[in-house]
Amino acid sequence: MAVKGRPYYGRGAARKTTSWTLVLSMLVMLSLLIVILLSLGILSIPSRKDSSKAHDLSHLAHNSLHSGGGDEESKDQWVEVISWEPRASVFHNFLSKEECEYLISIAQPHMEKSTVVDSDTGKSKDSRVRTSSGTFLARGRDKIIRNIEKKIADFTFLPVEHGEGLQVLHYEVGQKYEPHYDYFLDEFNTQNGGQRIATVLMYLSDVEEGGETVFPAAKGNISSVPWWNELSECGKGGLSVKPKMGDALLFWSMKPDATLDPSSLHGGCPVIKGNKWSSTKWIRVHEYKA
Ligand SMILES: O=C(O)CCC(=O)C(=O)O
């Protein structure tokens, strides 16, 4: 028989209503939490714009380096791909002014006339091809050098242990390094560490005129670079990078298929006005026993 009056839903229905209220209040709380995290910038919504930036190396390097912090006043840092043949990029403001000055100060008392490698014997020899002076700084020599070497490893994805000691170079007016390859054509020089795979060339000073690093065999429209009008005659003989204190030029002597890359031919143009200080890190395919 039916009972008149207020409908009776029983205990089960009341429990169901309570669970729904609980779920709803949890959803409201979760939404509130997301809104708070979004407004604080702890959470972010992926957008189309962000995903295209994932392929933009300069953006990544820019962010990662800025978040790293540091004592000295840091300048804007970004990576610029300048060529695909050879593969080359410039890391702007890679070294601080203090790091540049430190490298010069410890190298200066030990500078000697630079030599080149004799491709027949594999031994070093004096040559008119290279008229600068230079000295080597042992790998891991002190904290500042270890820090620079760690930055180079991060930039190149090549381990610190594959690097030769830093070489500091000084070019006075008229001094130069004629175009050459950094890879070896003899067997003697590849016994320790194998072939040279990449080079990082750091500029420790600005140069008023000349002193560019030139790639005469680079493919592409070399005169389209924005700094074309500032280049010396030698600099206009190929794709050129103008020395700027703190910048680092990375180029690869080997292609991704591990063959030697002849487009990595490069040289240091004669300095016309001022002085050029630079530091080179040659990196091997295998560990280099320093
Ligand atoms: O000084 C330059 O710009 C070039 C130096 C160089 O070719 C080297 O160190 O291998």
Domain segments of the chain: what residues? 7-45, 49-284
What are the tokens at 173? 């007016």
DSSP state of 220: S
Residue type, 239: L
Residue type, 278: S
Task: Name the residue of 197, 251, 278, 283 whose CB sits within 8 Å of the most ligand 1 atoms, as the mutation to test its pocket.
Answer: 278
Answer yes or no: is the C-beta of 213 below 6 A from any ligand 1 atom.
yes
Task: Name the residue of 114, 275, 280 whose CB sits within 8 Å of the most ligand 1 atoms, as the mutation to test its pocket.
Answer: 280
Cα–Cα distance, 98 to 204 (Å, whole number): 10
**Percentage, residues of the chain above pLDDT 70:** 82
Give, in words, the CATH class of 49-284.
mainly beta
Whole-number average pLDDT of the chain: 86
Confidence of residue 11 (pLDDT cuts 50, 70, 90): low
Report the relative pairing of strands 124-125 and 196-203 from DSSP bridges: unpaired
Select the more confidently predicted residue: 210 or 3: 210
* Residue identifier of the C-alpha nearest atom 7 of ligand 1: 267
**For residue 216, pLDDT beyond 90:** yes
C-alpha 100 – ligand 1 centre gap (Å): 16
Answer yes or no: is the C-beta of 268 below 6 A from any ligand 1 atom.
yes
CB-based contact 281:164 (threshold 8 Å): yes
Measured from the Cα of 243, ligand 1's closest atom is 3
Answer yes or no: is the C-beta of 279 below 6 A from any ligand 1 atom.
no
